Amino acid sequence: MLNFEEWRGRLRESCGHYYAKPAAVRARTEQFDLRQVQGLDKALIRCAVDRIERTRQGIRRDDAEHFFLLHQAEGEMAVRHCDCDVVLQKGDFLLLDSTRPAELIFGGNVSQFTSVHMPRTLFLAGREHTPATGIKVTTRNPLHASLTNLISDQSDGVDVDQFCPDDFFDFVAMVFGPDPASVNIGQFRNRGGRMRYISQIIDQHLQDQDFSIDDLAVRVGRSRRQLQRDFYGSGTSFTEVLKTRRLHHFVAAGRRLKRQGYEIGITDLAYMSGFSDPSHFNRMFREAYQTSPREFFRKTHKHMI
């Protein structure tokens, strides 16, 4: 068991800037272990804290973006996220979006759950719709048992034997379905909301090497000039955002391949992330990370081990 400060440190290191508040009476019941499932990090979390919060400040401080697949193992957890208020009970699943504020409320009661960390760019790449976040999936869902098996440390093999890595993302997307609130830019009255939606659409099409600002304009129902104003007002450009999202996809995909024991073909991975010119990609990568792609993965793999 960990004391609160140790547990909070592991939470921050693994999940990003989520802020935990201790209960009035602290008990040494916190636990945090990290494992691998489907080539992804899976955190096993046990706590008796008051709550965990994801604030706009925390969102701004994190470069990495994830969908967290939560699975309640013991006790209860109330979740406020994406305009939804739900209570997770044993067996329930919920998808949490790290780019949106959230509250996980325990009230000092013992709760145990797992969290599978899915890089956002990997999950959304090539997908028509984003998944529904903030809603729970219970044992009544016909796909619940299969999803439970896929994230289990002791899978019975029935659902896993024929699975390739990306099938897991497809299955999660199938379970949670499309988010109807994610398909209309007209609902956003401020630039911040529009930019979050625009980044989401870019993530879904970043593997298309020919994807342009005109293609984006068609997808979001906004004119090229309006989009340029949105980017300019946010201190960036379409080209810069597309480059950054593709680099994030490249890094996330490479880390996942390393965890699964595969050799990384830098050029193939760059093409898969939407880059069309290997030399230009290498220059952009060095500018962003101050090292070569191969050296970057060599160092980060040592850190992961």
Shared-domain flag, residues 127 and 17 = yes
Residue 220 to residues 117, 187, 216, 241, 278: CA-CA distances in angstroms? 28, 12, 6, 16, 30
Domain boundary among 153, 176, 199: 176
Which pLDDT score is estimated for 304? Answer: 47
Q: Within its chain, how far is the Cα of 12 from the centroid?
A: 15
Q: Residues for the chain: how many in total?
A: 305
- The residue range of the domain holding 38 is 4-176
DSSP 214: H
In angstroms, rounded to a whole number, what is the distance separating the alpha carbons of residues 216 and 221? 8
Instruction: At 171, list the tokens.
Output: 């299955």
Domain count, the chain: 2
Opening angle at CA 144, ends 12 and 70, nearest 5: 10
Look at the pTM and tell me if it is higher than 0.85: no
Shared-domain flag, residues 149 and 221 = no
Residue 16 to residues 12, 52, 132: CA-CA distances in angstroms? 5, 12, 22
Which pLDDT score is estimated for 171? Answer: 86
pLDDT 10s digit of each residue in the chain, 305 long? 788 889 999 999 999 999 999 987 766 668 999 998 888 999 999 999 999 999 999 999 998 899 999 999 999 999 999 999 999 999 999 999 999 999 999 999 999 999 999 999 999 988 888 899 999 999 998 889 889 988 987 654 444 444 455 778 888 988 998 755 554 566 556 777 788 788 888 999 999 999 999 999 998 888 999 999 999 998 999 999 999 999 999 999 998 888 888 888 999 999 999 999 999 999 999 999 999 999 999 887 655 44
CATH assignment of the domain containing 10: 2.60.120.10
Sheet holding 77-81, edge to edge: 19-21, 51-54, 102-105, 77-81, 84-88
Do residues 11 and 44 lie in contact, with contact meaning Cβ atoms separated by under 8 Å?
A: no
Shared-domain flag, residues 169 and 46 = yes
In angstroms, rounded to a whole number, what is the distance separating the alpha carbons of residues 194 and 23? 37
